């Protein structure tokens, strides 16, 4: 039986799209649902393009009820993937899916992580500190922002003259290349347990 993935995203959803593409023909796993806290998120259109159901929730539903947890349990979700999802995951969701929630972050954690560090803010901090390299981190999610156990890191060199757009591009290339493969690796481990 295929393992079932839920993707949480808050924005455009380019990583979500790569994951949906990657698992479209997989025998091991499928994306069962896309969830967002943003009713205008382009990720909803991407999910629709793949005929994957979606669910929009607000802060109250996410933090103060078990509705989202129950929805994921009803769908028999095996792995939750945060792909550009900006809210802290509440305790009830962490407890319901222990070591089954992963996130991708656009820096080499622990550098440039934590509350408020996402997207361009991360890359601008990397530039401001004249770092010679940056990269991506895929990690398990816990009760703190960007703090869970690291699963995978990939890095790229920052060349003289690289600007915000170039650093974003280099990071996104790594995200699109590695995120689906890391998810697949986790799924295969689950299947052997």
Is the alpha carbon torsion for 187, 189, 192, 193 positive or negative? negative
Q: Cβ contacts of residue 14 below 8 Å, gap of 6+?
A: 84, 172, 176
pLDDT at 58: 97
Question: Would residue 55 show up in a list of annotated catalytic residues for this protein?
Answer: no
> 35 by DSSP, 3-state: which?
strand
pLDDT at 11: 95
Is the alpha carbon torsion for 168, 101, 79, 183 positive or negative? positive
- pTM of the complete model: 0.96
Instruction: Tell me how long the chain is.
Output: 193
Residues 138-157 have pLDDT tens digits of 999 999 999 999 999 999 99
- Is the pLDDT at 192 greater than 80? The verdict is no
CA atoms within 13 A on the CB side of 106: 25
Residue with tokens 């895929």: 138
Backbone torsion region of residue 108, taken as left when φ is above 0, otherwise alpha when ψ lies between -120 and 50, otherwise beta: beta
Task: Using pLDDT thresholds of 50, 70 and 90, give the confidence band for residue 191.
Answer: confident
Which candidate in 55, 105, 123, 139 is catalytic?
A: 105
Residues 14-51 have pLDDT tens digits of 999 999 999 999 999 999 999 999 999 999 999 999 99
pLDDT at 193: 62
- Is the pLDDT at 178 greater than 90? The verdict is yes
């Amino acid at each position: 039986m295929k393992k079932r993935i839920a993707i949480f995203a808050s924005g455009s959803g380019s990583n979500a799209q790569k994951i949906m593409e990657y698992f479209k023909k997989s025998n091991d796993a499928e994306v069962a649902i896309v969830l967002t806290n943003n009713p205008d998120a382009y990720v909803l259109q991407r999910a629709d393009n793949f005929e994957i159901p979606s669910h929009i929730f607000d802060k109250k539903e996410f933090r103060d009820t078990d509705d989202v947890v129950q929805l994921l349990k009803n769908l028999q979700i095996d792995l939750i993937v945060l792909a550009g999802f900006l809210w802290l995951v509440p305790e009830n969701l962490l407890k319901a899916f222990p070591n089954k929630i992963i996130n991708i972050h656009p820096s080499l954690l622990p550098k440039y992580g934590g509350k408020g560090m996402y997207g361009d803010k991360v890359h601008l901090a990397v530039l401001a500190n004249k770092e010679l390299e940056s990269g991506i981190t895929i990690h398990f999610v816990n009760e703190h922002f960007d703090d869970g156990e690291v699963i995978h890191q990939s890095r790229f060199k920052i060349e003289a003259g690289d600007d915000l757009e170039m650093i974003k591009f280099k990071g996104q290339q790594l995200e699109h290349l590695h995120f689906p493969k890391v998810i697949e690796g986790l799924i295969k481990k689950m299947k052997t347990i």
